[in-house]
Amino acid sequence: MTHFIIAGILVVVTAVLTYLGLNALGLMPASASAQAVPIDWLWNWEVIMISFLFALIVVPLLYSLVVFRRRKGDTSDAEHIEGNTSLEIGWTIAPLFLVMVFAYLGAYTLGDTRRVDPQAMIVNVKASQWTWSFEYPEYGFTSNELHLPVNKQVLLKMESLDVIHSFWVPEFRVKQDVLPGRVTELRITPTLIGDDYKVRCAEMCGTSHYSMEQPVIVSAPEDFKQWAEISQAEYASAQTPEQRGERLAQIYCFSCHSPTITPVAGNIAPVWFGLFGSTVELQDGSSVTADEAFLLESIVNPLANLVAGYQPIMPASYGTLLGESEIKDIIAYIITLK
């Protein structure tokens, strides 16, 4: 009996210390959405349970190892135990019960994160290798940054233009796969103003999967409105092919190609600055002049002219993703970069 009391106390102490230790690690980033609240609540209960079960297994094990170790000179056999029916029933029923409780809590929490606000603002999200674009149908423009007003639910209607991607902003907690040929939805109510959130892709989607991240900005409703109206006006006034091309490039191209002399991180793709009219060395040893025909072919059939020093990572989907006139606009914009 004394052993049970001592071991019991040790289990409780170890469980509390394990819980405090795990919490001190700071496993979660800031909680910044209404959907994060039930998820963090469930997570906390799971950490409590994990800490308790860890202590329940490790403490009796170590306690027995130390207290009931073989004494010096003791060569007798240990007691022979056939089994213990009530113990076996107990350690079958108790975990089953716990798993069922957490299944219920999990389902309930999932329902909580999907609660529908009929007033939600809609943003159409397009994912492609390796970029995100965000269309605001209320305002009629597309951005490469996701701006959200605080304390208002947003309904993301997401579709992939090529392979499977996954929309994930860790501070919002919720995550959703983005599939080709099917619209998936995600509801987020941001609760914390901030401009250093990032959407990441959480599904291995090819060579530059790691770089598929873009800014997410949560602002006060009036700041959001101002941004949306300015973007809307800019969008409507971008009349020349060069202006339209720059806007398209911001959305589709700048995660790999740089419009300045400084390449993007990792120098994964040729810079555009000074590209037009220059002599480009190809991987097969030949060289070509970067004229309009070369730029066009490089966009619609990127594997035809592999530039020396770069991996063949450019997706072949831009030829179908972008319309003919959009590609012309982008080329017109590239020509201005010198």
Cα within 13 Å of Cα(233), Cβ side: 5
Closest-CA residue to 46 (of 5, 105, 2, 1):
105
Q: How far apart are CA 249 and CA 243, in angstroms?
A: 10
Q: Which residues contact 108 (CB under 8 A, 6 or more apart)?
A: 38
Contact between 232 and 141 (Cβ < 8 Å): yes
Nearer to ligand CUA, 203 or 242 (CB): 203
**Which CB atom, from 59 or from 201, has the smaller least distance to ligand CUA?**
201
> Which region holds residue 277: left if phi is over 0, alpha if psi is between -120 and 50, else beta?
left
Q: Which is nearer to ligand CUA, 201 or 314 (CB)?
A: 201
Q: How far is the CB of 55 from ligand CUA (least distance, A)?
A: 38
Which residues between 110 and 139 bind ligand CUA (CB under 6 A)? 130
> Which is closer to ligand CUA, CB of 171 or CB of 203?
203
| Minimum CB distance to ligand CUA, residue 185 (Å) | 18
Contact letters for ligand CUA, residues 180-219 (x by CB under 6 A):
---------------------x-xxx---x--x-------
Tell me the backbone φ, ψ of residue 20, rounded to 5 degrees: -65, -40
Distance in Å, CB of 212 to ligand CUA, minimum: 4
Give 203 or 326: the residue with its C-beta nearer to ligand CUA: 203
- The Cα-based distances of 171 to 4, 39, 99 in angstroms read 43, 11, 27
Report the nearest approach of ligand CUA to the CB of residue 301 (Å): 22
Site for ligand CUA, rule CB under 6 A: 130, 165, 201, 203-205, 209, 212
